[in-house]
Each structure stands twice: as structure tokens, then as C-alpha cells.
Homo-oligomer: A and B are copies of this chain.
Amino acid sequence: MAATIHDVAKLAGVNSSTVSRVLNGKATITGETKEKIYAAMKRLDYHPNSVARSLASGLSGAIGVVVDAQDAEAFSNVFFSRSLFAIEQVAQARGYNVIITNGGKQAARAIETLMLERKVDSLILPPSTIKPSLLAKIGDFPYVVLGQPDSAKLSASWVDNNNEQGAELAVQHLLGKGYQGIAYLGGNQGADFVKRRVKGYQSALPRGAEPLVLPTDGTPEDAQRAAAAALQTKAPPGAFVCNDNLAAFGLLKAAKALGIAVPRELGVVTFDNYPLAEYTDPPLTAVDIDTALLGEQTAQLLFQRLERKTANQQILLETALIPRESSDRM
């Protein structure tokens, strides 16, 4: 079987506690002794059993990432997986492992399992789980929220993109290009991040401009329908900020069907810069949400809290606008 700390100790002619100490750098050990121990570890191909280590130390060296996927789609979305990648990178660099679990309807149970049974050292949670009932169970267990939670009243550490600022950026960009009559297309109006985007959109409109928000059910078809309807009114919008790429797809189709030229007659900016945004016709100007950075910052914040016991902290990441043809009237 695999060599244990005792095998190493015996071979090196020392006590296992000494081996443990060199393993953890926790005490002053003679160079000579260290050498013997290192040699023994190498000869036996010793790998410390992290399970035993966890039990003894109370630290598991693992973090739990809970995702909130109603269905396979949400889990698979690019947003999440890039963030997850970044989180794992940071964790791996610090010698931590990442346990993922899909919360969904059973988020409470998933979180309890991770905390109470699996004994992870810390959690990354989705905003949807941040409710008083769950928070009570979590107590002062260290966690960071990946995304801005709904209730501003609850104190928590979180990291999110600045959706409000992103929407402002989009509107300002369109205004700068000379577009007028800017509408907002798409998005489930119930979702909190959509509300923030709409808020930013509204606040960036010039004085006197009437906001026009066209919610959709999320499909491009519905976006196409909504956009087509708006474009055929007496005073059609001169530009759209789209809540996501699918909405932008629907919009482009509607414009094409109506013979409206983008970007000459209609400006389009979309949230999210997915791989294909750049290959539409015309290529879409996009508010880039840096999901990798989001994950990285979340993990960094988590380890900061874990290692230095810092206070709660909220981080809003600035978004950037990537100009492409769909809004390039000049």
C-alpha cells in the first residue's frame, strides 16, 4: 500500500511528529534531519494523506463551489464555466481542491453537505442562495458570493461585474455615435442583474429622452418579434442596447427583414461578448463581461478572507465596450 508518515519516519530514523513538522514547516528542524526525511519521502514515493490531515487539523484544503442551475443550460453557459476555470486556477495555485455541486432547488442541502459533512474550508455561492433562511444556517462560515446578491441589506462578500456601468457605457457609446431614441431589448425583468442594467440604461439617457424597455422571454424569436414591432411604430428607436447575444440576434433578423440597415440606420450594442458575437453580420459591438476575471477575483477574495480573516468586501468590476461594426455609423 501507499507509504504513510510512519513509514517515512521509520526509514529516516525519526518520529512521525518530526516528519509532520518538516512537512508543515512548523518548527525548527536540523538541516541534517530534514535531508534524511526528504530522502525517505522520495524513496517511498510518499504522498501525505489529505484525508487524515483534514481530520487531524480540521482543515480540508478544499473549497466548495455551488452553482445554481435550473437546467443543464445554465450550468453550461460560458459565463459560468470560464469563471469556474479561473477559480480552479487560483485554488490549485494555493494547493486547494475545488468541489463543485449543482444547487438548484436543493441548494440548502448542497450547502449543508459541503459545510457540515464534506468539511470544505470555504464556499463560493450564487446570489440566489443569499436569503435569510440559508444565511442563518451558514452562520459565520466563510463564503463569497459570485454575483451581486439581491438584498443590499445583507452583509456579505461578493464580486460582480458592474452591470449598471456597462449599460451606461453602451448608451454613452451610442449617443457618442450620434444615435437617438435608444431602446433596451431583452432580458427577464425579474432577474436582478437585468434590473441593474436597465437602471444604468435609464440613467445614461439624455434629459427628456423617453426610456423604452422591451422585455422578452429570452429567445431570439421573441426578441425579433418585439424589435420588429418597435421598429414599425411612428417613432421607431434609432438604436438598441441588447441584454444578451440572443436578443441581438433576433434584432438583427428583424432589421434585415424590415430592410433597415445596421449600423447606418440602426445602432446595436449587446451585452456579452461570446465567441460568435464577432461573426454576426454586421459584427456586434459588445459590452464585454470578463467572466474569467470575475472568477479569479472571487477566488482571490475568498482566500483573502480565509487567510487574513478580513472583513466583508464587495467588488464591482468595470466592464469594457468592444466597438465593432454594428454601432459604427461614422
Contact = CB atoms under 8 A, between A and B. Distances in A.
Nearest to A74: B85
A276 interface: yes
Contacts of A97: 99, 101, 113-114, 118
Contacts of A62: 99, 118
A76 B85 contact: yes
A18 B184 CA distance: 63
A220 interface: yes
A117 interface: yes
Residue among A76, A85, A100, A117 with the highest chain B CB neighbour number at 10 A: A76
Mostly helix, strand, loop or mixed at chain A's interface?
A: helix
Q: How many copies does the complex hold?
A: 2
Interface string A242-270: 00011001100100100000000000000
B72 A86 contact: yes
Interface residues of A, number: 54
Contacts of A206: none
B49 A52 contact: no
Contacts of A279: 220, 246, 249-250, 253
Interface in A60-118: 60, 62, 69, 72, 75-78, 80-82, 84-86, 88-89, 92, 97-102, 110, 112-114, 116-118
Nearest to A48: B117
A119 B61 CA distance: 13
